[in-house]
């Protein structure tokens, strides 16, 4: 079994292209340029990377970054078992060694040392020092690195020394008609129902900075539509998937209820 077999994208993920992002990703991958995808939560960044990995026929090693993720988690570590000690590659080393696309989702959520460890992979060196093994992994010719982050969701920003190593693709929520088509396609509900849910989502986004850090994402709209497809009443589905997850503040919740009444 090849080490990357478990990381292959088996079936075509649904992705609705909204601009030239597919061609731009292909151009960057052709020269193995590292890519930064930036945009609000749930707008399709991860789905886009999955689709591109499938389209290019490359395995996709995805890492969901968080506060506890360290450089060692990415690179690898020595493990102790019944036969003694053995080395286990981390996801970044695995991708670099065997030639996958490595996707670090929400990279600014990880510890500061994780950004430093990727630097040698993002320039002409294309190598990964593995200090614990006294090894330098030369990146496979098919290896490529993509990272994402949400510029508006957190006070943390990418350091300039890291940002300037990447080409960037900016993402946003799709236009109303395109988003309604995506919601209908993903959930299976009628287009007119999907349009109502999207209308509510757009209203919640207008409250950003007025009680909400962010409005409803496309992912949340799909979840609401999925509940409708399951037989849940439209209002209840929107409260469950959109309003209740977005806020606990009574005043903001009242504003969201007004948006719900206006949309439905």
Looking at residue 227, its pLDDT comes to 98
Domain boundary among 143, 170, 197: 170
Q: What is the pLDDT of residue 229?
A: 97
Residue 189, domain extent: 176-263
Please state, in angstroms and rounded to a whole number, the distance separating the CA atoms of residues 133 and 70. Answer: 17
Please state, as a whole number, how many other Cβ atoms lie within 10 Å of the Cβ of residue 242. 23
Q: Quick check: 166 and 204 in contact, CB under 8 A?
A: no
From CA 68, how far away is CA 226, in angstroms rounded?
Answer: 32
Predicted pLDDT of residue 153: 56
Low-confidence ranges of the chain (pLDDT < 50): none
Token pair belonging to 171: 């993402």
User: Is the domain of 28 the same as that of 91?
Assistant: yes
Angle ∠(126,128,129) on CA atoms, nearest 5: 135
Residue 39 backbone class (left: φ over 0; alpha: ψ -120 to 50; beta: rest): left
pLDDT of res. 78: 92
Residues 238 and 128 reside in one and the same domain: no
User: Where among 170, 193, 223 does a domain terminate?
Assistant: 170
Rounded Cα distance, 18 and 40, in Å: 15
DSSP codes of every residue in 141-180: TT-EEEEEE-TTT-S----HHHHTTSEEEE--PPPHHHHH
Query: What pLDDT score does 117 carry?
Result: 93
Domain boundary among 150, 170, 190: 170
> pTM for this structure?
0.91
- CATH number (domain holding residue 84): 3.40.50.300
Per the structure, the count of domains in the chain is 2
Tell me the CB-side half-sphere exposure of residue 118, using CA atoms within 13 A: 34
């Amino acid at each position: 079994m090849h080490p990357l077999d478990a990381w292959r994208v088996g079936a075509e993920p649904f992705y609705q292209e909204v601009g030239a992002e597919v061609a731009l990703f292909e151009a960057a991958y052709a020269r193995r340029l590292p890519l930064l995808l930036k945009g609000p939560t749930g707008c399709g960044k991860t789905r886009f990377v999955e689709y591109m990995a499938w389209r290019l026929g490359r395995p996709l090693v995805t890492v969901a970054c968080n506060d506890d993720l360290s450089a060692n988690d990415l690179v690898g570590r020595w493990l102790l078992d019944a036969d003694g000690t053995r080395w286990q590659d981390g996801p970044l080393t695995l991708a670099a060694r065997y030639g996958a696309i490595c996707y670090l989702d929400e990279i600014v959520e990880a510890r500061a040392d994780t950004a430093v460890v990727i630097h040698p992979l993002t320039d002409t060196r294309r190598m990964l020092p593995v200090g614990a093994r006294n090894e330098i992994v030369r990146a496979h010719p098919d290896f490529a690195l993509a990272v994402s982050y949400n510029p508006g969701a957190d006070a943390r920003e990418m350091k300039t020394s890291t940002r300037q190593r990447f080409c960037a693709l900016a993402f946003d929520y799709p236009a109303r008609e395109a988003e309604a088509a995506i919601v209908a396609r993903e959930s299976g509900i009628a287009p007119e129902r999907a349009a109502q849910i999207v209308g509510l989502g757009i209203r919640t986004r207008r409250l950003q900075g007025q009680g909400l850090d962010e409005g409803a994402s496309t992912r949340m709209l799909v979840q609401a539509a999925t509940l409708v497809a399951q037989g849940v009443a439209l209002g209840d589905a929107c409260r469950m998937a959109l309003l209740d997850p977005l806020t606990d503040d009574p005043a903001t919740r009242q504003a969201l209820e007004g948006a719900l009444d206006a949309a439905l």
